[in-house]
């Protein structure tokens, strides 16, 4: 199966599902009694108890489902899936029936099942295996529970993004052998498992992109069976996610900082190196106040981006100054040609074609300086074209004004 058969999770997908998981967990009970189940969703507890999905956001840090729908209204596939979410029921089972289940959760093309009893058992085994203290049980359990929920919700979105592939019985059949692929060989599971591993590893805990990639991939590869080519694909994808995570948090600070510096940059108070240094200092200060030292890869990214911003801002200014210098150089000569023309033709201005006369005057200037106005050097030609255009427009303007004044004088004498 080629990796192009599915649309893989992106930074936006991961962030969206993370928001949904936060929303669900905010309304979940602190514990689910043994041999019972808890339903979350559309009239989940029967009767007219309402729809859990339509409750307001529990606090300012968590977004409601209606807010997420509004944010993604311009993405048809995500909007469609989010609008279907309130009609979905998620059932959390804490029963013996699922104690030894092979999976922690399942997506059944609509309903989502989370096997809490299986997750609890796995968490206890993990603590015993690694000799962790029982005090760490709650954090291990919560991490496994939320990553499982994240994984199954990713399947929910997969179903809407590439429905035909998800519901094709042959999607998990090896065409060469005719055998059904095991869980770790299935492409939809690669995507969902990569997504929930990304969810489990917080980029803010890493100041180095390579360390982040190694930890995520080491965990990811324990679950899936993929070729070296696909491993490299997910390795690059993980690095891209890490960089995007940082960029999203720093982009607004970068923009605000440069906008505040822009007037002084244009006045020449900051050169390129000083601008880069001040911007990186501001970004580093902002990030260190929240999550520690900013990664070197992010510094390099914003250094390059700041240089481009500086060049785009100042190059037009430099070009404008250069243009004015060239105009000043030829201004007196152009003025003399114009005055000679006006003195020779003043009494017949009404008969003269404004545009033809303007071209003739400017052409005299150009013919007298062929090395500049007819240069084959691209950069010189570009500036000479602007000088030519400036003098042509200026000549047209002068001749038109003289014609208008002469017409005014004629009309005034006629009326007298």
At CA 103, angle to CA 4 and CA 144, rounded to 5?
90
In angstroms, rounded to a whole number, what is the distance separating the alpha carbons of residues 17 and 14? Answer: 5
Residues 78, 7 contacting (CB under 8 angstroms): no
Where are the chain's structural domains?
Answer: 3-181, 248-315, 319-415
In angstroms, rounded to a whole number, what is the distance separating the alpha carbons of residues 324 and 387? Answer: 8
Model pLDDT for residues 237-292, shown as the tens digit of each residue: 999 999 888 888 888 889 999 999 999 988 888 899 999 999 999 888 887 766 66
DSSP string of 45-71, one letter each residue: TSTT--BGGGSPPSSTTS--HHHHHHH
Q: Residue 338 above 70 pLDDT?
A: yes
Model pLDDT for residues 375-413, shown as the tens digit of each residue: 888 888 888 998 999 999 999 999 999 888 877 555 544
DSSP-derived secondary structure letter, 115 = E
Query: How crowded is residue 245: how many other Cβ atoms within 10 Å of its Cβ?
Result: 20
Higher pLDDT pick, 51 / 104: 104
pTM for the predicted model, two decimal places: 0.66
Mean pLDDT of the region 328-340: 93
Query: How crowded is residue 385: how many other Cβ atoms within 10 Å of its Cβ?
Result: 12
What's the mean per-residue pLDDT of the chain? 85
Q: In angstroms, how far is CA 219 from the centroid of its own chain?
A: 27
Residues 364, 391 contacting (CB under 8 angstroms): no
């Amino acid at each position: 199966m080629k990796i192009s058969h599915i649309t893989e999770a992106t930074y936006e997908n991961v962030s969206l599902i993370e928001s949904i998981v936060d929303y669900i967990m905010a309304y979940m009970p602190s514990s689910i009694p043994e041999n019972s189940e808890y339903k979350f969703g559309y009239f989940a507890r029967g009767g007219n108890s309402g729809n859990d999905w339509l409750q307001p956001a529990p606090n300012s840090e968590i977004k409601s489902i209606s807010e997420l729908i509004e944010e993604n209204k311009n993405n048809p596939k995500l909007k469609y899936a989010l609008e279907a979410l309130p009609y979905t029921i998620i059932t959390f089972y804490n029963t013996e029936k699922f104690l030894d289940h092979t999976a922690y959760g399942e997506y059944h093309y609509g309903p989502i099942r989370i096997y809490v009893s299986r997750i609890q058992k796995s968490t206890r085994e993990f603590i015993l295996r690694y000799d962790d203290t029982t005090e760490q049980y709650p954090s291990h359990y919560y991490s496994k529970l939320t990553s499982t929920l994240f994984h199954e919700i990713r399947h929910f979105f997969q179903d809407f993004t590439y429905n035909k592939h998800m519901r094709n019985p042959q999607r998990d059949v090896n065409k060469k052998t005719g055998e059904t692929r095991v869980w770790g060989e299935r492409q939809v599971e690669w995507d969902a498992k990569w997504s929930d591993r990304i969810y489990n590893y917080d980029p803010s805990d890493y100041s180095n992109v390579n360390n982040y990639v190694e930890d995520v991939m080491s965990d990811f590869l324990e679950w899936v069976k993929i070729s070296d080519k696909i491993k490299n694909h997910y390795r690059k994808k993980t690095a891209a996610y890490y960089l995007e995570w940082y960029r999203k948090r720093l982009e607004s600070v970068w923009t605000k900082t440069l906008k505040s510096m822009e007037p002084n940059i244009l006045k020449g108070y900051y050169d390129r190196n000083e601008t880069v240094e001040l911007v990186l200092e501001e970004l580093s200060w902002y990030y260190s106040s929240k999550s520690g030292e900013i990664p070197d890869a992010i510094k390099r990214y914003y250094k390059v981006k700041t240089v481009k911003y500086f060049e785009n801002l100042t190059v037009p200014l430099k070009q404008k100054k250069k243009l004015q210098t060239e105009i000043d150089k030829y201004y007196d000569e152009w003025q003399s040609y114009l005055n000679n023309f006006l003195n020779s033709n003043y009494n017949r201005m009404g008969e003269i074609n404004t545009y033809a006369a303007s071209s003739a005057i400017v052409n005299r200037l150009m013919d007298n300086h062929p090395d500049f106005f007819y240069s084959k050097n691209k950069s010189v030609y570009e500036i000479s074209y602007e000088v030519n255009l400036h003098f042509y427009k200026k000549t047209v303007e002068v001749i038109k004004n003289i014609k208008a004044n002469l017409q005014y004088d004629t009309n005034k004498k006629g009326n007298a």
